[in-house]
Amino acid sequence: MKRLKIAITMGDPAGVGPEIIVKMFKKENLYDLADVFVIGDLFPMLSAQRRISSSISIKPIIKLNDMSCDKNVINLFDMKQLHLNDYTIGENRAKAGAASFEYIKKAIELAKAKKIDAIVTAPINKHSLHMAGIKFPGHTEILAKFTNTKKYAMMLMSGKLKVVLATIHTAIKNVPKELNIKDLTELMELTDRSLAKDFGIYGPITAVCGLNPHAGEAGAFGKEEIDIIAPAIKKVRARGIKVEGPFPADTIFHKVVNYKTHDAVIAMYHDQGLVPLKLLSFDTGVNVTLGLPIVRTSPDHGTAYDIAGTGKASESSILAAFHTAIEIAWNRKGKRIEKN
């Protein structure tokens, strides 16, 4: 079959994005799996390359057909957004935020035009975005906006666990207000479709967490399970979708990880789902945006300004994101291995 084309966006130039990308190419021959190129800027990529490995070289390209597949070459689609004094490693800058936004927009443009098969995004910095007047909370909302996607979700995953979030960056006090039967029903349906379409899982089974301790204990600790979560599950099950719960969050992750009782878990809020996932797979977690017409994955960490430029950042998570993007892209093309 035709080789995949994968774009990696460089992320915030002041963060660890450039160096973990260089480490990716040093660690593995990515060209064994796809035609790969980076969308970013020459100055930060060269700086990272010089710090990380003299055996890696940067090849600026103008057209995708100019790509090299030599093991030690990084193809760079140079967006020419930055000069050397426009960013400082480890610091927030408006120009750095604006540049990282342009890399994402270019990748989305190429994906929508079907010139690439997937996007892997290195971390961006929300504060730098906001300094540039770009008021998106993060990658997920940018991707949804520019692909005109109304129903989308964030999945964080590792080898043992897939977690989908009902609410994302929401204050704990506001989580109950954001939960409703309609949105939860749509999220369960989206999760089911994505497990089948993107991961080749035949007849997926999803577990749903309760919101309160012990899933509310029959209303003793809260009634969201009775009034919202259980009715949403019942509604989805009536449509033939395999969803179970609500389960107490302090036990369901143990069952899923150790006994493989379910293919994914829907968590009601950010830390409910991400604490167990990051405890298991802090260096290899992957963020997948469900519901998009294009494939997008990313490492499950931020710009890590505190260690940017030191060479300490691990490439494990972005490599896992790359391999996950490959898996999803092939599954969407029908080249899949069904998993029971």
**Per-10-residue mean pLDDT, the chain, length 340:** 93 98 96 97 97 95 93 96 94 97 98 98 96 92 96 94 94 96 98 97 97 94 97 98 98 97 98 95 93 97 95 96 97 70
Same topology between domain 1-149+292-340 and domain 150-291: yes
Give residue 339's pLDDT.
Answer: 47
Nearest CA to 80 among 98, 55, 54?
A: 98
Distance, in Å, from the CA atom of 153 to the CA atom of 292, rounded to the nearest integer, reads 9
Distance, in Å, from the CA atom of 46 to the CA atom of 325, rounded to the nearest integer, reads 25
Residue 97 · residue 87 · CB < 8 Å: no
Task: Return the domain boundaries, the chain.
Answer: 1-149+292-340, 150-291
Give residue 1's pLDDT.
Answer: 65
Architecture in CATH for domain 1-149+292-340: 3-Layer(aba) Sandwich (3.40)
Architecture in CATH for domain 150-291: 3-Layer(aba) Sandwich (3.40)
Distance, in Å, from the CA atom of 98 to the CA atom of 81, rounded to the nearest integer, reads 8
Residues 49-58: contacts with CB under 8 Å, at least 24 apart: 49/22, 49/74, 51/19, 51/309, 51/311, 52/19, 52/22, 52/23, 52/26, 52/311, 53/22, 53/23, 53/26, 55/26, 56/22, 56/25, 56/26
Distance, in Å, from the CA atom of 261 to the CA atom of 207, rounded to the nearest integer, reads 9
Give residue 57's pLDDT.
Answer: 96
Give residue 131's pLDDT.
Answer: 97
**What's the half-sphere exposure (Cβ side, CA atoms, 13 Å) at 27?**
14
